[in-house]
Amino acid sequence: MSWFNVEELKKLVKKNNSVLVVWDVHEALVSSIFNKDEFLSSLKELISEARSLNIPIVYTKITPYPEKFQPPIRRSFNPGDIIKDVYPQDGDVVLLKNTPSIFVGTNFELMLRNVGINTIVFTGIATDIGVETSVRHAQALGFLPVVAKQAVSSGDKAAHERSLENLKRLMLVLDNKEIISLWRTG
């Protein structure tokens, strides 16, 4: 499963201390990934399971700065909306953000600390950019980040794979089956 044994994982990853993050699943980004069908299927599975177990789901949404404050390289980028296949439902949180960390410029950390959540399961696009940045930031803040390896992707397959290999050395990178099993037993 990982460098934790199963009994340790059962104590750490539970439905009552977890949140599912759906990172930047925008129309333009989903269209650019190398494994769209597999990614969406895996993402839907985790979202469905989180909903059935009443695990909070937080979607991130890229919110550009006003045009004149955008960095020149990002001025022409339009990510589109969150894709309809996994669109947020009532009760889900949509967190507007404009950096590659879920913690910078948002109230995400405070939200989690307010309700005692310390395990963050990350899904979304791009593994090698915002997902990895947020995962590392989460760990630095004392949270337990879990990367759902089947439910993250990138437009660059090699960068995605490198990112997962790097993250495996530092934190939990689990498949859907493992995450769901831990949620159901915890």
pLDDT digits (tens, 9 = 90+) for 87-123: 999 999 999 998 899 999 999 999 999 999 999 999 9
- H helix or E strand, kind and range, residue 94: strand 93-97
What is the C-alpha to C-alpha distance for residues 100 and 109, in angstroms, rounded to an integer? 15
pLDDT reading at 14 higher than 50: yes
How far apart (Å, rounded) are the C-alpha atoms in residues 5 and 172? 11
pTM recorded for the entire structure: 0.93
Q: Please provide the CATH number assigned to the domain covering 17-185.
A: 3.40.50.850
Average pLDDT over residues 161-173: 94
In this prediction, residue 60 carries a pLDDT of 97
Confidence bin at 67 (pLDDT 50/70/90): confident
Residues facing 22 on adjacent strands: 59, 123
Cα–Cα distance, 44 to 175 (Å, whole number): 14
